[in-house]
Chains A and B, each alone.
Chain A
Amino acid sequence: MVESMNTSESFDPRAASAEIDRAAARVRRARWWYVAAWAVMAVYSAAFYIGLMAYPERFEDLVIPAMLLVVAILGFMSWRQRMVSRGASRVETTVILSSICLGAVAAVVNESAVPDGLTVWAVLVGVLPAIPFAWLAWRAARR
Chain B
Amino acid sequence: MSTTATGEGAHPRHRLDEVIHAPVRLSVMAALAEADRVAFSLLRDTVEVSDSLLSRHISTLESAGYVIVVKGYEGKRPRTWFSLTDQGRAAFERYRSTLRELIEGGPAEDADGPP
Q: Say if the beta carbon of A119 comes within 8 Å of chain B.
A: no
Is B35 a contact partner of A19 (Cβ separation < 8 A)?
no
Given that A11-B13, A84-B36, A86-B36 are known contacts, is A1 also in contact with B24, CB under 8 Å in the complex?
A: yes
Is B42 a contact partner of A16 (Cβ separation < 8 A)?
no
In this complex, how many residues of chain B approach chain A with their Cβ under 8 Å: the count is 30
Between A and B, how many residue pairs show CB distances below 8 Å? 83
The CA-CA distance from A5 to B23 in the complex, in Å, is 6
- Taking the closest CB of chain B, its distance from the CB of A35, in whole angstroms, is 13
Give which listed residue, B23, B34, B47, B99, contacts A6 with CB less than 8 A: B23
Is A82 a contact partner of B42 (Cβ separation < 8 A)?
yes
Q: Say if the beta carbon of A27 comes within 8 Å of chain B.
A: yes
Is B23 a contact partner of A85 (Cβ separation < 8 A)?
no
In this complex, how many residues of chain A approach chain B with their Cβ under 8 Å: the count is 32
Using Cβ atoms and an 8 Å threshold, which residues of chain B touch A87?
36
Using Cβ atoms and an 8 Å threshold, which residues of chain B touch A90?
36
Nearest residue (CB) in A for B89 is A86
The CA-CA distance from A14 to B104 in the complex, in Å, is 10
Using Cβ atoms and an 8 Å threshold, which residues of chain B touch A6?
23
The CA-CA distance from A6 to B35 in the complex, in Å, is 26
Given that A13-B99, A23-B27, A26-B46 are known contacts, is A31 also in contact with B35, CB under 8 Å in the complex?
A: yes
Given that A11-B21, A16-B99, A23-B47 are known contacts, is A86 also in contact with B27, CB under 8 Å in the complex?
A: no
Is B31 a contact partner of A82 (Cβ separation < 8 A)?
no
Is B34 a contact partner of A24 (Cβ separation < 8 A)?
yes
Q: Say if the beta carbon of A64 comes within 8 Å of chain B.
A: no
